[in-house]
Chain A
Amino acid sequence: MRRLFLTLGIFILLGLAGFYVLTDPRVVSPAPEIGTLPPPDVENGKLLFAAGGCSSCHATPGQDDKLRLGGGLALPSPFGTFRAPNISPHTRDGIGNWGVKDFVDAMATGVSPSGQHYYPAFPYTSYRLMPPKALADLFAYIRTLPSVEGSAPGHDLPLPFNIRRAVGGWKLLFFDGSPFRPDPTKSEEWNRGAYLVQGPGHCAECHSNRNALGAIIPSTRFAGGPDPEGKGFVPNITQHADGLANWSKSEIAELLKTGFTPSFDSVGGNMTAVVRNTAQLSDVDRMAMAEFIKSLPAVAGPPRPKKAE
Protein backbone atom coordinates (compact mmCIF):
# COMPACT_ATOMS: atom_id res chain seq x y z
CA MET A 1 0.00 0.00 0.00
CA ARG A 2 2.76 2.40 0.96
CA ARG A 3 4.59 1.49 -2.16
CA LEU A 4 1.53 2.28 -4.23
CA PHE A 5 1.29 5.76 -2.74
CA LEU A 6 4.99 6.30 -3.26
CA THR A 7 4.75 5.26 -6.90
CA LEU A 8 1.70 7.45 -7.41
CA GLY A 9 3.47 10.36 -5.77
CA ILE A 10 6.47 9.96 -8.02
CA PHE A 11 4.25 9.85 -11.09
CA ILE A 12 2.44 12.99 -10.03
CA LEU A 13 5.73 14.77 -9.41
CA LEU A 14 7.06 13.63 -12.76
CA GLY A 15 3.85 14.78 -14.39
CA LEU A 16 4.09 18.21 -12.79
CA ALA A 17 7.74 18.52 -13.72
CA GLY A 18 6.91 17.54 -17.28
CA PHE A 19 4.08 20.07 -17.42
CA TYR A 20 6.42 22.73 -16.06
CA VAL A 21 9.14 22.05 -18.60
CA LEU A 22 6.83 21.63 -21.57
CA THR A 23 4.77 24.73 -20.92
CA ASP A 24 7.74 27.00 -20.27
CA PRO A 25 7.11 30.28 -22.09
CA ARG A 26 10.83 30.74 -22.75
CA VAL A 27 11.29 32.32 -26.14
CA VAL A 28 13.74 31.03 -28.63
CA SER A 29 13.64 34.34 -30.36
CA PRO A 30 12.73 33.87 -33.99
CA ALA A 31 14.72 36.88 -34.97
CA PRO A 32 18.49 36.86 -34.51
CA GLU A 33 18.62 39.64 -37.09
CA ILE A 34 16.65 42.14 -34.98
CA GLY A 35 19.78 44.11 -34.10
CA THR A 36 20.74 44.41 -37.74
CA LEU A 37 17.39 45.56 -39.16
CA PRO A 38 17.40 48.70 -41.31
CA PRO A 39 15.52 51.77 -40.04
CA PRO A 40 11.79 50.98 -39.90
CA ASP A 41 9.47 51.87 -42.77
CA VAL A 42 6.57 53.55 -40.96
CA GLU A 43 4.42 53.64 -44.11
CA ASN A 44 4.67 49.86 -44.44
CA GLY A 45 3.83 49.64 -40.74
CA LYS A 46 0.70 51.68 -41.34
CA LEU A 47 -0.35 49.35 -44.16
CA LEU A 48 0.21 46.30 -41.96
CA PHE A 49 -1.71 47.96 -39.14
CA ALA A 50 -4.72 48.23 -41.49
CA ALA A 51 -4.24 44.75 -42.95
CA GLY A 52 -3.89 43.30 -39.46
CA GLY A 53 -7.08 44.93 -38.19
CA CYS A 54 -5.25 45.90 -34.97
CA SER A 55 -7.62 48.72 -34.17
CA SER A 56 -10.72 46.53 -34.56
CA CYS A 57 -9.89 44.92 -31.24
CA HIS A 58 -7.50 47.33 -29.53
CA ALA A 59 -9.17 50.72 -30.16
CA THR A 60 -10.89 52.03 -27.04
CA PRO A 61 -14.59 51.15 -27.42
CA GLY A 62 -17.23 53.85 -27.30
CA GLN A 63 -15.27 56.57 -29.09
CA ASP A 64 -14.64 57.23 -32.75
CA ASP A 65 -10.86 57.55 -32.95
CA LYS A 66 -9.70 54.13 -34.14
CA LEU A 67 -6.09 55.10 -33.48
CA ARG A 68 -6.53 55.41 -29.71
CA LEU A 69 -5.45 51.92 -28.73
CA GLY A 70 -6.48 51.93 -25.08
CA GLY A 71 -7.98 48.44 -25.28
CA GLY A 72 -10.88 47.14 -23.22
CA LEU A 73 -13.05 45.59 -25.92
CA ALA A 74 -14.64 42.39 -24.63
CA LEU A 75 -14.26 39.30 -26.80
CA PRO A 76 -16.71 36.65 -25.67
CA SER A 77 -15.71 33.04 -26.32
CA PRO A 78 -16.67 29.54 -25.16
CA PHE A 79 -13.76 29.81 -22.67
CA GLY A 80 -14.78 33.05 -21.04
CA THR A 81 -14.43 36.71 -21.89
CA PHE A 82 -11.13 38.03 -23.19
CA ARG A 83 -10.37 41.73 -23.11
CA ALA A 84 -8.04 43.42 -25.54
CA PRO A 85 -5.20 45.17 -23.70
CA ASN A 86 -3.89 48.70 -24.14
CA ILE A 87 -1.30 48.64 -26.94
CA SER A 88 -0.90 52.41 -27.23
CA PRO A 89 2.61 53.79 -26.71
CA HIS A 90 1.84 54.72 -23.08
CA THR A 91 4.90 53.77 -21.06
CA ARG A 92 3.04 52.42 -18.04
CA ASP A 93 -0.29 51.17 -19.39
CA GLY A 94 0.56 50.42 -23.01
CA ILE A 95 3.60 49.11 -24.85
CA GLY A 96 5.68 52.29 -24.66
CA ASN A 97 8.44 50.55 -22.76
CA TRP A 98 8.75 47.68 -25.18
CA GLY A 99 11.74 47.11 -27.41
CA VAL A 100 11.50 45.76 -30.94
CA LYS A 101 12.39 42.28 -29.68
CA ASP A 102 9.54 42.36 -27.15
CA PHE A 103 7.10 43.21 -29.92
CA VAL A 104 8.44 40.57 -32.30
CA ASP A 105 8.30 37.92 -29.56
CA ALA A 106 4.71 38.87 -28.72
CA MET A 107 3.54 38.80 -32.33
CA ALA A 108 5.50 35.80 -33.57
CA THR A 109 5.61 33.53 -30.53
CA GLY A 110 2.77 34.75 -28.31
CA VAL A 111 4.99 35.46 -25.31
CA SER A 112 4.89 38.70 -23.33
CA PRO A 113 8.00 40.68 -22.29
CA SER A 114 7.49 39.40 -18.73
CA GLY A 115 7.65 35.84 -20.06
CA GLN A 116 4.00 34.84 -19.97
CA HIS A 117 1.99 33.10 -22.65
CA TYR A 118 -0.66 35.10 -24.45
CA TYR A 119 -4.00 33.47 -25.09
CA PRO A 120 -4.57 32.71 -28.77
CA ALA A 121 -7.57 35.08 -28.75
CA PHE A 122 -4.72 37.36 -29.80
CA PRO A 123 -4.10 35.87 -33.25
CA TYR A 124 -0.33 35.44 -33.06
CA THR A 125 -1.15 32.07 -34.62
CA SER A 126 -1.49 34.10 -37.85
CA TYR A 127 0.68 37.14 -37.14
CA ARG A 128 3.72 34.88 -36.71
CA LEU A 129 3.86 34.69 -40.50
CA MET A 130 5.10 38.28 -40.59
CA PRO A 131 8.90 38.49 -40.78
CA PRO A 132 10.79 40.51 -38.11
CA LYS A 133 11.34 43.38 -40.54
CA ALA A 134 7.59 43.75 -41.12
CA LEU A 135 6.90 43.52 -37.39
CA ALA A 136 9.51 46.18 -36.68
CA ASP A 137 7.79 48.45 -39.23
CA LEU A 138 4.42 47.83 -37.59
CA PHE A 139 5.86 48.51 -34.15
CA ALA A 140 7.39 51.78 -35.38
CA TYR A 141 3.98 52.85 -36.72
CA ILE A 142 2.15 52.00 -33.48
CA ARG A 143 4.71 54.11 -31.63
CA THR A 144 3.59 57.17 -33.64
CA LEU A 145 0.00 56.83 -32.37
CA PRO A 146 -1.43 58.70 -29.36
CA SER A 147 -0.49 57.44 -25.95
CA VAL A 148 -3.61 56.40 -24.00
CA GLU A 149 -3.58 56.25 -20.23
CA GLY A 150 -5.32 53.53 -18.26
CA SER A 151 -4.95 49.78 -18.50
CA ALA A 152 -7.84 47.67 -19.75
CA PRO A 153 -9.60 45.30 -17.34
CA GLY A 154 -8.24 41.75 -17.33
CA HIS A 155 -9.72 38.66 -18.90
CA ASP A 156 -12.66 36.99 -17.24
CA LEU A 157 -11.91 33.29 -17.51
CA PRO A 158 -13.05 30.42 -15.32
CA LEU A 159 -10.71 27.67 -14.11
CA PRO A 160 -8.84 25.98 -15.81
CA PHE A 161 -8.62 28.55 -18.59
CA ASN A 162 -7.26 31.19 -16.25
CA ILE A 163 -4.01 29.22 -15.89
CA ARG A 164 -1.79 30.91 -18.46
CA ARG A 165 0.82 28.23 -18.17
CA ALA A 166 -1.64 25.79 -19.75
CA VAL A 167 -1.43 27.81 -22.96
CA GLY A 168 2.07 26.33 -23.27
CA GLY A 169 0.49 22.90 -23.65
CA TRP A 170 -1.96 24.30 -26.18
CA LYS A 171 0.94 25.72 -28.16
CA LEU A 172 2.70 22.35 -28.15
CA LEU A 173 -0.38 20.78 -29.64
CA PHE A 174 -1.55 23.45 -32.05
CA PHE A 175 0.93 26.30 -32.57
CA ASP A 176 3.12 26.32 -35.63
CA GLY A 177 5.64 29.09 -35.14
CA SER A 178 7.19 29.07 -38.59
CA PRO A 179 7.32 32.30 -40.62
CA PHE A 180 5.79 32.76 -44.07
CA ARG A 181 7.52 30.84 -46.85
CA PRO A 182 6.63 31.94 -50.36
CA ASP A 183 5.70 29.22 -52.83
CA PRO A 184 8.12 29.65 -55.75
CA THR A 185 5.79 27.75 -58.10
CA LYS A 186 3.12 30.43 -57.68
CA SER A 187 2.97 33.99 -58.96
CA GLU A 188 4.24 36.98 -57.04
CA GLU A 189 0.65 38.20 -56.76
CA TRP A 190 -0.53 34.90 -55.27
CA ASN A 191 2.28 34.95 -52.73
CA ARG A 192 1.50 38.52 -51.72
CA GLY A 193 -2.15 37.53 -51.28
CA ALA A 194 -1.27 34.38 -49.34
CA TYR A 195 0.86 36.46 -47.00
CA LEU A 196 -1.78 39.15 -46.47
CA VAL A 197 -4.70 36.72 -46.01
CA GLN A 198 -2.92 34.24 -43.74
CA GLY A 199 -0.54 36.55 -41.92
CA PRO A 200 -1.67 40.07 -40.99
CA GLY A 201 -5.21 39.58 -42.37
CA HIS A 202 -5.74 36.51 -40.13
CA CYS A 203 -8.92 35.71 -42.10
CA ALA A 204 -8.94 32.04 -41.08
CA GLU A 205 -9.23 32.98 -37.40
CA CYS A 206 -12.94 33.68 -37.91
CA HIS A 207 -13.63 31.86 -41.18
CA SER A 208 -12.81 28.41 -39.75
CA ASN A 209 -14.33 25.91 -37.43
CA ARG A 210 -12.55 25.24 -34.12
CA ASN A 211 -12.10 22.14 -32.00
CA ALA A 212 -13.05 21.71 -28.34
CA LEU A 213 -9.80 23.39 -27.27
CA GLY A 214 -10.40 26.38 -29.48
CA ALA A 215 -7.84 25.53 -32.13
CA ILE A 216 -8.62 25.83 -35.84
CA ILE A 217 -9.32 22.44 -37.43
CA PRO A 218 -6.84 22.37 -40.33
CA SER A 219 -9.00 20.29 -42.70
CA THR A 220 -11.80 22.86 -42.71
CA ARG A 221 -9.63 25.98 -42.59
CA PHE A 222 -11.40 28.87 -44.40
CA ALA A 223 -14.60 26.77 -44.72
CA GLY A 224 -16.54 28.84 -42.20
CA GLY A 225 -18.33 27.80 -39.04
CA PRO A 226 -20.32 29.09 -36.12
CA ASP A 227 -19.33 32.58 -34.99
CA PRO A 228 -16.88 32.00 -32.11
CA GLU A 229 -18.15 35.15 -30.45
CA GLY A 230 -21.72 33.93 -30.26
CA LYS A 231 -24.62 34.51 -32.62
CA GLY A 232 -24.62 33.71 -36.26
CA PHE A 233 -22.51 31.87 -38.74
CA VAL A 234 -19.29 32.87 -40.47
CA PRO A 235 -19.36 32.04 -44.19
CA ASN A 236 -17.24 29.52 -46.06
CA ILE A 237 -14.68 31.43 -48.16
CA THR A 238 -13.21 28.45 -50.02
CA GLN A 239 -14.19 27.65 -53.62
CA HIS A 240 -16.97 25.34 -52.43
CA ALA A 241 -20.44 25.87 -53.92
CA ASP A 242 -21.56 27.12 -50.49
CA GLY A 243 -18.54 29.40 -50.44
CA LEU A 244 -17.09 31.74 -53.02
CA ALA A 245 -17.10 29.39 -56.04
CA ASN A 246 -19.34 31.75 -57.98
CA TRP A 247 -17.48 34.91 -57.05
CA SER A 248 -14.98 36.38 -59.46
CA LYS A 249 -11.61 37.64 -58.30
CA SER A 250 -12.69 41.23 -58.78
CA GLU A 251 -15.93 40.63 -56.85
CA ILE A 252 -13.88 39.45 -53.87
CA ALA A 253 -11.62 42.49 -54.17
CA GLU A 254 -14.72 44.70 -54.41
CA LEU A 255 -16.10 43.27 -51.16
CA LEU A 256 -12.81 44.02 -49.42
CA LYS A 257 -13.02 47.59 -50.71
CA THR A 258 -16.68 48.56 -50.37
CA GLY A 259 -18.29 45.79 -48.32
CA PHE A 260 -20.73 44.89 -51.09
CA THR A 261 -21.31 41.30 -52.17
CA PRO A 262 -21.97 40.50 -55.85
CA SER A 263 -25.72 40.75 -55.15
CA PHE A 264 -25.10 44.12 -53.51
CA ASP A 265 -25.89 43.08 -50.04
CA SER A 266 -23.51 44.85 -47.68
CA VAL A 267 -21.62 42.71 -45.19
CA GLY A 268 -22.52 43.10 -41.55
CA GLY A 269 -21.32 42.24 -38.09
CA ASN A 270 -17.58 42.25 -37.50
CA MET A 271 -16.88 42.04 -41.23
CA THR A 272 -17.87 45.70 -41.43
CA ALA A 273 -14.85 46.56 -39.30
CA VAL A 274 -12.67 44.27 -41.41
CA VAL A 275 -13.77 46.10 -44.56
CA ARG A 276 -13.00 49.45 -42.93
CA ASN A 277 -9.44 48.13 -42.65
CA THR A 278 -9.06 46.39 -46.00
CA ALA A 279 -10.53 49.49 -47.68
CA GLN A 280 -7.29 51.24 -46.69
CA LEU A 281 -5.15 48.81 -48.69
CA SER A 282 -4.25 49.35 -52.33
CA ASP A 283 -6.28 47.86 -55.17
CA VAL A 284 -3.21 45.79 -56.02
CA ASP A 285 -3.10 44.24 -52.53
CA ARG A 286 -6.84 43.57 -52.50
CA MET A 287 -6.59 41.84 -55.90
CA ALA A 288 -3.67 39.78 -54.54
CA MET A 289 -5.80 38.69 -51.59
CA ALA A 290 -8.59 37.77 -54.00
CA GLU A 291 -6.12 35.83 -56.17
CA PHE A 292 -5.14 33.73 -53.16
CA ILE A 293 -8.72 33.27 -51.97
CA LYS A 294 -9.78 32.13 -55.46
CA SER A 295 -7.09 29.43 -55.20
CA LEU A 296 -8.43 27.88 -51.98
CA PRO A 297 -9.58 24.31 -52.73
CA ALA A 298 -13.31 23.69 -52.31
CA VAL A 299 -13.92 22.41 -48.80
CA ALA A 300 -17.34 21.71 -47.31
CA GLY A 301 -17.73 23.56 -44.04
CA PRO A 302 -19.62 22.41 -40.98
CA PRO A 303 -23.36 22.31 -41.65
CA ARG A 304 -25.20 25.52 -41.05
CA PRO A 305 -27.82 25.47 -38.36
CA LYS A 306 -31.05 24.10 -39.82
CA LYS A 307 -33.06 26.73 -41.58
CA ALA A 308 -36.66 26.78 -40.44
CA GLU A 309 -39.06 26.86 -43.34
Chain B
Amino acid sequence: MIRTVFVAAGLVLTLSTVIAQSDPIAERRETMKGVGAATRDGAAIAKGEAAFDATKTENIFKVYVAAARKMPGLFPDTAKTGGESIAGPKIWEDPAGFKAGFAKLEMEATAAAASTKDLDSFRTAFGTVTKNCAACHEVYRIKK
Protein backbone atom coordinates (compact mmCIF):
# COMPACT_ATOMS: atom_id res chain seq x y z
CA MET B 1 0.00 0.00 0.00
CA ILE B 2 2.67 2.42 1.06
CA ARG B 3 4.60 1.51 -2.06
CA THR B 4 1.65 2.31 -4.26
CA VAL B 5 1.31 5.71 -2.63
CA PHE B 6 4.99 6.43 -3.12
CA VAL B 7 4.91 5.35 -6.72
CA ALA B 8 1.80 7.38 -7.36
CA ALA B 9 3.29 10.43 -5.68
CA GLY B 10 6.48 9.96 -7.64
CA LEU B 11 4.53 9.75 -10.87
CA VAL B 12 2.56 12.89 -10.10
CA LEU B 13 5.75 14.75 -9.27
CA THR B 14 7.55 13.69 -12.43
CA LEU B 15 4.48 14.36 -14.49
CA SER B 16 4.07 17.91 -13.17
CA THR B 17 7.75 18.63 -13.75
CA VAL B 18 7.43 17.39 -17.31
CA ILE B 19 4.32 19.52 -17.88
CA ALA B 20 6.04 22.56 -16.42
CA GLN B 21 9.08 22.05 -18.61
CA SER B 22 7.03 21.59 -21.70
CA ASP B 23 4.93 24.64 -20.88
CA PRO B 24 7.19 27.64 -20.31
CA ILE B 25 4.20 30.00 -20.12
CA ALA B 26 2.71 28.09 -17.19
CA GLU B 27 6.10 27.85 -15.56
CA ARG B 28 6.94 31.54 -15.81
CA ARG B 29 3.52 32.41 -14.47
CA GLU B 30 4.06 30.09 -11.51
CA THR B 31 7.49 31.59 -10.92
CA MET B 32 6.12 35.13 -10.91
CA LYS B 33 3.31 34.09 -8.58
CA GLY B 34 5.99 32.90 -6.19
CA VAL B 35 7.71 36.26 -6.47
CA GLY B 36 4.40 37.99 -5.76
CA ALA B 37 3.83 35.85 -2.67
CA ALA B 38 7.32 36.63 -1.40
CA THR B 39 6.73 40.35 -2.00
CA ARG B 40 3.49 40.16 -0.07
CA ASP B 41 5.38 38.71 2.92
CA GLY B 42 8.07 41.34 2.57
CA ALA B 43 5.60 44.21 2.37
CA ALA B 44 3.81 42.96 5.49
CA ILE B 45 7.11 43.04 7.37
CA ALA B 46 8.15 46.40 5.96
CA LYS B 47 4.81 47.91 6.96
CA GLY B 48 5.03 46.45 10.43
CA GLU B 49 2.04 44.16 9.91
CA ALA B 50 4.25 41.13 10.47
CA ALA B 51 7.21 40.80 12.82
CA PHE B 52 10.73 41.00 11.42
CA ASP B 53 12.15 37.53 11.03
CA ALA B 54 15.63 37.08 9.56
CA THR B 55 14.85 33.61 8.18
CA LYS B 56 11.77 34.92 6.43
CA THR B 57 13.49 37.93 4.91
CA GLU B 58 16.37 35.76 3.73
CA ASN B 59 13.89 33.47 2.03
CA ILE B 60 12.20 36.38 0.30
CA PHE B 61 15.45 37.43 -1.34
CA LYS B 62 16.23 33.77 -2.15
CA VAL B 63 12.97 33.56 -4.08
CA TYR B 64 13.96 36.67 -6.03
CA VAL B 65 17.42 35.34 -6.86
CA ALA B 66 16.05 31.96 -7.97
CA ALA B 67 13.41 33.63 -10.14
CA ALA B 68 15.95 36.01 -11.67
CA ARG B 69 18.09 33.02 -12.69
CA LYS B 70 15.21 30.94 -13.98
CA MET B 71 13.04 33.49 -15.79
CA PRO B 72 15.23 34.45 -18.77
CA GLY B 73 15.15 30.83 -19.98
CA LEU B 74 11.37 30.64 -19.99
CA PHE B 75 10.76 32.85 -23.02
CA PRO B 76 11.64 30.69 -26.04
CA ASP B 77 10.51 31.87 -29.49
CA THR B 78 7.84 29.17 -29.35
CA ALA B 79 6.16 30.75 -26.32
CA LYS B 80 5.54 34.35 -27.38
CA THR B 81 1.79 34.18 -26.94
CA GLY B 82 -0.81 31.74 -25.71
CA GLY B 83 -2.17 30.62 -22.39
CA GLU B 84 -2.89 33.80 -20.51
CA SER B 85 0.47 35.23 -21.37
CA ILE B 86 0.89 38.96 -21.04
CA ALA B 87 4.50 38.87 -22.16
CA GLY B 88 5.25 41.90 -24.29
CA PRO B 89 6.84 41.72 -27.76
CA LYS B 90 9.79 43.74 -26.44
CA ILE B 91 11.14 40.60 -24.76
CA TRP B 92 12.03 39.19 -28.16
CA GLU B 93 12.92 42.53 -29.72
CA ASP B 94 15.41 43.41 -27.01
CA PRO B 95 16.55 40.14 -25.43
CA ALA B 96 19.75 41.72 -24.11
CA GLY B 97 17.87 44.41 -22.19
CA PHE B 98 15.42 41.82 -20.90
CA LYS B 99 18.21 39.60 -19.57
CA ALA B 100 20.05 42.59 -18.12
CA GLY B 101 16.93 43.37 -16.06
CA PHE B 102 17.05 39.96 -14.43
CA ALA B 103 20.81 40.16 -13.93
CA LYS B 104 20.27 43.43 -12.07
CA LEU B 105 17.51 41.87 -9.98
CA GLU B 106 19.73 38.93 -9.06
CA MET B 107 22.60 41.20 -8.10
CA GLU B 108 20.45 43.55 -6.04
CA ALA B 109 18.54 40.74 -4.33
CA THR B 110 21.85 39.11 -3.36
CA ALA B 111 23.14 42.40 -2.01
CA ALA B 112 19.85 42.99 -0.19
CA ALA B 113 20.10 39.63 1.57
CA ALA B 114 23.61 40.49 2.69
CA SER B 115 22.75 43.97 3.95
CA THR B 116 19.61 42.99 5.86
CA LYS B 117 20.42 43.00 9.57
CA ASP B 118 17.26 44.36 11.16
CA LEU B 119 13.91 45.86 10.26
CA ASP B 120 15.34 49.20 9.13
CA SER B 121 18.00 47.75 6.87
CA PHE B 122 15.42 45.33 5.49
CA ARG B 123 13.07 48.17 4.62
CA THR B 124 15.76 49.97 2.68
CA ALA B 125 16.98 46.84 0.89
CA PHE B 126 13.46 45.63 0.12
CA GLY B 127 12.52 49.05 -1.26
CA THR B 128 15.51 49.05 -3.59
CA VAL B 129 14.98 45.53 -4.89
CA THR B 130 11.25 45.88 -5.52
CA LYS B 131 11.85 48.90 -7.77
CA ASN B 132 12.92 46.29 -10.32
CA CYS B 133 9.38 44.93 -10.59
CA ALA B 134 7.87 48.01 -12.18
CA ALA B 135 11.01 48.81 -14.16
CA CYS B 136 10.68 45.57 -16.12
CA HIS B 137 6.90 45.36 -16.23
CA GLU B 138 6.72 48.82 -17.74
CA VAL B 139 8.67 47.76 -20.80
CA TYR B 140 8.32 44.02 -21.18
CA ARG B 141 4.71 43.35 -20.32
CA ILE B 142 1.54 44.32 -22.13
CA LYS B 143 -1.46 45.71 -20.28
CA LYS B 144 -3.82 43.29 -18.71
- Chain A interface (Cβ within 8 Å of chain B)? 227, 231-235, 258-260, 263-273, 275, 307-309
Q: How far is the CA of A182 from the CA of B32 in the complex (A)?
A: 42
CB atoms of A263 and B134 under 8 A apart:
no
- With a CB–CB cut-off of 8 A, which chain A residues contact B40? 263-264
CB atoms of B137 and A266 under 8 A apart:
yes
Judged by a CB distance under 8 angstroms, whether B3 is at the interface is no
Within 8 A of A (CB), among B25-60: 32, 36-37, 39-40, 43
**15 A-B contacts, Cβ less than 8 Å apart?**
A232-B142, A235-B143, A259-B134, A264-B40, A265-B36, A266-B39, A266-B130, A266-B137, A268-B86, A268-B136, A268-B137, A268-B138, A269-B138, A269-B142, A270-B143
Q: How far is the CA of A272 from the CA of B39 in the complex (A)?
A: 17
Q: Chain A CB within 10 Å — which of B89, B134, B135, B136 has the most?
A: B134
- Chain B interface (Cβ within 8 Å of chain A)? 32, 36-37, 39-40, 43, 82-84, 86, 88-89, 130, 133-138, 140-144
Q: Which chain A residue shows the least CB distance to B41?
A: A264
Q: How far is the CA of A235 from the CA of B143 in the complex (A)?
A: 8
- With a CB–CB cut-off of 8 A, which chain B residues contact A269? 88, 137-138, 141-143
Known contacts A259-B134, A263-B36, A264-B39; A232/B143 CB under 8 A: yes
CB atoms of B142 and A231 under 8 A apart:
yes
- With a CB–CB cut-off of 8 A, which chain B residues contact A259? 133-134
CB atoms of A271 and B37 under 8 A apart:
no
Q: How far is the CA of A269 from the CA of B136 in the complex (A)?
A: 9
The contact of B143 among A263, A266, A268, by CB within 8 Å, is A268
Known contacts A260-B43, A264-B43, A307-B84; A275/B142 CB under 8 A: no
Q: How far is the CA of A235 from the CA of B86 in the complex (A)?
A: 13
- With a CB–CB cut-off of 8 A, which chain A residues contact B36? 263-265
Q: Which chain B residue shows the least CB distance to A226?
A: B143
Q: Which chain A residue shows the least CB distance to B42?
A: A264
Q: How far is the CA of A263 from the CA of B32 in the complex (A)?
A: 11
Q: Chain A CB within 10 Å — which of B36, B134, B142, B143 has the most?
A: B143
CB atoms of A275 and B134 under 8 A apart:
yes
Known: A232-B86, A258-B130, A272-B135. 12 other contacts (CB 8 A): A227-B143, A232-B143, A263-B36, A264-B39, A264-B40, A268-B86, A268-B136, A268-B138, A268-B140, A270-B138, A270-B143, A272-B138
